[in-house]
Chain A
């Protein structure tokens, strides 16, 4: 990762203004829950979103990045409601400002590991092929470059999905249970890689987990 790829600290702030997903509206939420509250995600903040199953961690991810709109309240990126975003605005946002590791990973099973990563990197090239291979090496899956993603284990797929999310410039990474199939050592390595990449760009991240902190000191913890 060269110095020219380092970005200035950016100022995109995300505000969840009394968001309530409609499917969760009838559920009694904890007073500390972000649902129905005013929440700010400030630039560069590293946030843990801790909740048990079924509380809406994936709903938070999909709603925040505009993939679900069945909610009340308002989400604003830099004072602009995301309901006003056009498909092209979203494409630019997902290409340059927000990156996501989906819980179901969303890899292309028929493409190889290398193809999955190069395809993403082609949108806004931040790495050379060699650098991408080095990232794979860091997570101990460099030997899988030519392997079809469909043939990888879940843990290996998770690591590919994490690296794919890093192959773009971003100001915020939303990571939806990205280590659920990783052992402690691999999770630690992956988290270190994410932190390095965020620090390079002055970006922040939101990590959703089932309670595991991975021995990381977060700036803020949110609950559902």
Chain B
């Protein structure tokens, strides 16, 4: 009866406008946050290198082949790149300055031996547990990250030897060893694969192992930094690409394509997110204004209720619950439409070759809950203020 008294004779035009605004705002808010998160996560875990990381080197031209221009990086050049606002970090990729070969050391696998090129990068660029990525003299084995193309090559060899090919997981159980040597001495160190990468063409080893080899078996040649590892900020990968072009640097094309794609779609969703936040904010204001209007239109009814003994809290709660129910319906509808959008968008991204994780983002759901709580809290305050003003 209280609801009939307070809400029956109202002009609902403004309420409908606010509901539509909030519904659209919430739908796009949840959708844009979900896809921003999923896009950010895209690429993580598929490679042991971070998703926004590229390894770059100077383009090799005819003049550099003739030693007229340098292909190594100076400290000054590295510092200059580091100062760019869209660059998160830059670290040199250190290469071996000693002779090293790599071979199988497992009785279950036929012997396979090759001279290799090893490199080490700062562990912050790698998606590995620090405890697994360390080595000291005397350790049972040195952990390594193998280029996936190396495994392909190994499988080709297995196939040619009429031996079953090996998977990623199986490869991690095979024993390998490095042979480090100089003109006088030779030393074997066992190695075990802990991960794979598509982005680096050399075997990655911990820094301590590289230092050990470079110190004990050095060829004496000057150490040069010919590759850098660069990680760019989210959604600013276009700027990283511009910088590389301007400085005559190159990287693997696949890395750049993914980075560029993520930047473009990410920017698009940031714009949608911005618009959604504005829509939610404006609709929140319209709701509050509508509630104030409703209370002032019902001033006589509210005052009379209080005069005949209704608790002000009961009356203010009537307004509060009325709006909380509306927000609940809007939130539920927004969430439902988000799932419909998600179904079609996921399909669209898949068709375009972008396989995003399909689990609904918890952050997006929290954003919905946060918006609901914020709307409810502001309506509680507005109702309370409006009713106590009538006392």
Contacts and interface: CB of A to CB of B under 8 A. Distances in A.
Contacts of A87: 306, 312, 388, 391
A179 interface: no
B4 A111 contact: yes
Q: Main SS of chain A's interface residues?
A: helix
Contacts of A25: none
A94 B1 contact: no
Given A87-B388, A87-B391, A88-B313, A106 B308 contact: yes
Given A100-B307, A108-B301, A108-B304, A88 B312 contact: yes
A33 interface: no
B197 to A, nearest CB: 68
Interface in A107-153: 107-108, 110-111, 115, 118-120, 122-124
Contacts of B9: 110
A60 interface: no
Contacts of B350: none
B8 interface: yes
Given A108-B5, A110-B5, A120 B313 contact: no
B304 A106 contact: yes
Nearest to B312: A87
Contact of A94 (B8, B301, B307, B388): B307
B1 A164 contact: no
A122 B1 CA distance: 10
A119 B5 contact: yes
Contact of B309 (A108, A115, A168): A168
Contacts of B309: 91-92, 94-96, 120, 123-124, 168
Contacts of B311: 88, 91-92
Contacts of B374: none
B310 interface: yes
B1 A111 contact: yes
A27 interface: no
Contacts of A108: 5, 301, 304
A106 B307 contact: yes
Given A110-B9, A111-B4, A164 B312 contact: no
A54 to B, nearest CB: 23
Nearest to A96: B309
A94 B315 CA distance: 15
Contacts of B391: 87
Nearest to B1: A119
B317 to A, nearest CB: 13
Nearest to A123: B309
Interface string A79-100: 0000000011001101110001
Interface in B289-339: 301, 304, 306-313
B2 interface: yes
A123 B231 CA distance: 67
A67 to B, nearest CB: 7
Contacts of A110: 5, 8-9
Q: Across chains A and B, which 9 residue pairs bring their CB atoms closest together, nearest first? A: A95-B309, A94-B309, A91-B311, A106-B304, A87-B312, A119-B1, A123-B309, A87-B391, A115-B1
14 contacts: A87-B306, A91-B306, A91-B312, A92-B311, A95-B309, A100-B307, A108-B301, A110-B9, A111-B1, A111-B5, A115-B5, A118-B1, A119-B5, A120-B309
Given A94-B308, A108-B301, 11 more contacts: A87-B388, A88-B311, A91-B312, A102-B307, A107-B304, A108-B5, A110-B9, A111-B4, A118-B1, A119-B2, A119-B5
